[in-house]
Amino acid sequence: MNTHNTPHPAPITLITGGSRGLGRSAALHLASHGHDVILSYRSRADEAASAVAEIEALGRRAVALQLDTGRSDSFADFAATVQTALAQTWERERFDHLINNAGMGVHAGLMDTTEDQFDELFRVHLKGVFFLSQRLLPLLREGGRILNISSGLTRFALPGYAAYAAMKGAVEVLSRYMAKELGPRGIAVNVLAPGAIETDFGGGVVRDNAGVNGFIAAQTALGRVGLPDDIGGAITALLGDGSGWINGQRIEASGGMFL
């Protein structure tokens, strides 16, 4: 029997917050490069269904599952739902890549940040990433990949993002520990840190405020603000066949901000 012509199954990538913004861009970019996708959405089922339709239009399979990454008490049920989706849609028991992308921004100075804002950032950006990964690891294949999304704000400081950046900084440390502990399973864990991107994140200020947009472009070596496709391309590259030896690293995709 000639096994050289046996087709490899398409990689299945699970993206939290994959129905909008950077997550959606990444999902579509990955689909255009041969990935099937499981995406989570918090509340907008219509946006999730539209993302699934776009992925299917690219010839790939996709499933959208509801998840609030700030509610760790829902993660066991979510993992069971993922397991069912894998069996029903792909007749498989494992997926290949996990992208911890879901999040939201809070812009408030040190003196104005409330405990409720801080706690919500903690639940979504740190506790959620830790315990969702823990729940999903039994479903991630040996030799798979995890990509945690951070921010350029862990390297440079802009007033108003202290709490948000602190959570992302913690995720970067966590990622190195994950890489170390999951090494025996052949699972590589990295961080992708986007710079400022034109999306609806944080109320769309980078996209819609010409002054902010111009300031960032002037501070970026490549002379413009990032676009969602810039990040989708970086994510696809980091999950590609040639990037398996990259492990425990923080990769910034910012066009060279504040160099």
Q: How many CB atoms lie within 10 A of CB 177?
A: 12
Q: Specify whether 41 is catalytic.
A: no
E strand residue ranges, the chain:
12-15, 36-41, 62-66, 95-100, 140-149, 188-194, 250-253
Residue 76: count of CB within 10 angstroms of its CB: 11
CA distance 149 to 250: 10
Nearest to 191 by CA among 256, 132, 128, 249: 249
Tokens at residue 16, please?
């939290």
28 beta partners: none
**Amino acid making up residue 181:** E
How is the chain split among helix, strand and coil, in percent rounded to 5? Answer: 50, 20, 30
Whether the CB-CB separation of 210 and 110 falls below 8 Å is answered with no
SS3 252: strand
Let me know: does 52 contact 258? Beta carbons within 8 Å. Answer: no
Active-site amino acid positions? 164
